[in-house]
Chain A
Amino acid sequence: MKKVLFTTFLALLLVACSKDAAFETNPGKSGSITRFAVFQNNMYVLNLNEVQTYDITQKDRPVLVHRLPTDYGLETITIYDNTIFLGSTTALYILDISNPAAPVIQSKSDRLSDIGFSGCDPVVVKGNYAFSTIKVIQNICGNASTQSALVVYDITNKSAPVTLGVYPLDIPNGLGYKDNYLFICDEGIDRLRIFDITDPAMLTEYPQTVSITDPYDLIIDGQKMIVSSKTDFQIFDISDIVQIKKLGQISK
């Protein structure tokens, strides 16, 4: 009897441990357009012109511990390789979080002056390269005489990123990558566009696209991709880029 109890106890313990492990290793992920991010025991929140750091050592009791002033127009945050990347309406910020409780601005790359106004500027990072879409928004005075674009930065030196390339887009929103395929929501042409980023200095666009009305943002999860729009979402199998298959969609 004792032996049975002990074995049962051991089994329960193992289940509990594996559950905890799974819980720790899968924190989840957001799309590319968000102003909130969690890193270790800190949470970062973008306010209009500052980055707020909350200590969440005690998960359900956050404490605001740091406020980093920036210019106005912060829009998106992503964390990659122990570094924060911020997309703003005017610049790409790179923040050092060697001390996660107090981020420090490592560099601020102002947009090329000829790109003009922008709105939605999500960033994704892969290795030494950052990919950011810039949306030039139509205004009541007409279109600015510039183009929305995908901008590629070489961030080998995080203190001095270099613009590697600019690729015109229509009305880009969120983006994400799997291996060397970069997917970009282009609301202007109601499509998901796919770029080969094998050579970050010279991207090539695949002729394959996925037709979606007003795509907004996406999350890549293994061989699956979830794409959201203003009022719904769709799920795709992206194991074969040449034949992207739609698996499912929002339940109405």
Chain B
Amino acid sequence: MYSNIACFLSCCALLLSLGSCEKPEQDFFDGFGKKPVYVSLAELQDIRNEAPRPIQLSGTIFLKDTLLFILEQRKGIHVFNLKDSLNTVNLAFLKIPAITDFVVSGNLIYADSWKDLVVIDISNLQQISETARITNVITPALYPLLYNGYFECADESKGAIIDWEDATLENAKCVTIN
């Protein structure tokens, strides 16, 4: 967030100095943009297996033996078996709400989930379970990733953000410039 704001300010400072920046005409924006999708903090603990699914927006990748773990932004982790390169198998989807990164170590996954660090036992990939949770140690992004433009500002009192959806905005005050 801060780097984005810093980027925004320095961008405009630079471009104003170059005289080529189209400064937004208004401070509040009406029109097409993004708004947060919230889940309650209780729902963050809903860590479990779901049916394997296609990748929508990937992130961190991790290879352990023949297993390839691929992050699904804010949703969970896909697990593929690459034992046969010609015929890879989509093995599992591990639902971890609000996840943005992870690492695999032994039979455990360490991941972020909103403001928490969670430990997940994957000894049985088809029946995962949370083994530990350290609350309030991570600072989550309060803006849509990989997006340039206006968005409805995050309101943390509404819960954890698990997605950003397209929306028609009224009086939007937040903007990102990645």
Interface of B (DSSP majority class): mixed
Question: How many residues of chain A get a CB closer than 8 Å to chain B's CBs?
Answer: 57
Which of A30, A52, A144, A247 contacts B61 (CB under 8 A)?
A30
How far, in whole Å, are A37 and B178 apart by their CA atoms in the complex?
Answer: 25
How far, in whole Å, are A230 and B146 apart by their CA atoms in the complex?
Answer: 11
Which of A61, A221, A224, A231 contacts B132 (CB under 8 A)?
A61
Chain A residues near B138: list those with CB within 8 A: 45, 47
Chain A residues near B60: list those with CB within 8 A: 30-31, 33-36, 217
Give the residue name and chain of the B residue nearest to A117 (CB). Answer: B7
CB distance from A238 to the nearest CB of B (A): 12
CB distance from A66 to the nearest CB of B (A): 12
Decide if A98 is an interface residue (CB 8 Å cutoff).
no
Chain B residues near A28: list those with CB within 8 A: 62-65, 104-105
Decide if A229 is an interface residue (CB 8 Å cutoff).
yes
Interface residues of B in 1-32 (CB under 8 A from A): 1-3, 6-7, 10-12, 14-15, 20-22
Question: How many residues of chain B get a CB closer than 8 Å to chain A's CBs?
Answer: 59
B61 touches A89 (CB 8 A): no
Decide if B37 is an interface residue (CB 8 Å cutoff).
no
How far, in whole Å, are A56 and B117 apart by their CA atoms in the complex?
Answer: 13
Which of A38, A119, A141, A247 contacts B86 (CB under 8 A)?
A247
CB distance from B173 to the nearest CB of A (A): 16
B61 touches A228 (CB 8 A): yes
1/0 per residue B84-119: CB within 8 Å of A? 111111100000000001111110101110000101
Decide if A1 is an interface residue (CB 8 Å cutoff).
no
Known: A29-B63, A48-B139, A72-B3. A142 touches B20 (CB 8 A): yes
Chain B residues near A29: list those with CB within 8 A: 62-63
1/0 per residue B153-178: CB within 8 Å of A? 00000000000000000000000011
Known: A48-B139, A59-B108, A219-B61. A232 touches B55 (CB 8 A): yes
Known: A30-B62, A248-B86. A231 touches B55 (CB 8 A): yes
CB distance from B117 to the nearest CB of A (A): 7
Which of B10, B85, B90, B139 contacts A248 (CB under 8 A)?
B85
Decide if A140 is an interface residue (CB 8 Å cutoff).
yes
CB distance from A246 to the nearest CB of B (A): 9
Interface residues of A in 20-75 (CB under 8 A from B): 23, 26-31, 33-38, 43, 45, 47-49, 52, 54, 56, 59-62, 64, 72-73
A37 touches B177 (CB 8 A): no
Decide if A216 is an interface residue (CB 8 Å cutoff).
yes
The 7 closest A-B pairs by CB, nearest first: A28-B64, A36-B103, A247-B85, A248-B85, A73-B3, A31-B61, A139-B177
For the A-B complex with A28-B64, A60-B131, A251-B90 known, give 5 more contacts whose Cβ atoms are closer than 8 Å. Answer: A26-B65, A31-B60, A38-B103, A54-B117, A119-B178
- Chain A interface residues toward B at CB < 8 A: 23, 26-31, 33-38, 43, 45, 47-49, 52, 54, 56, 59-62, 64, 72-73, 89, 117, 119, 137-142, 144, 216-217, 219, 221, 224, 226, 228-233, 235, 247-252
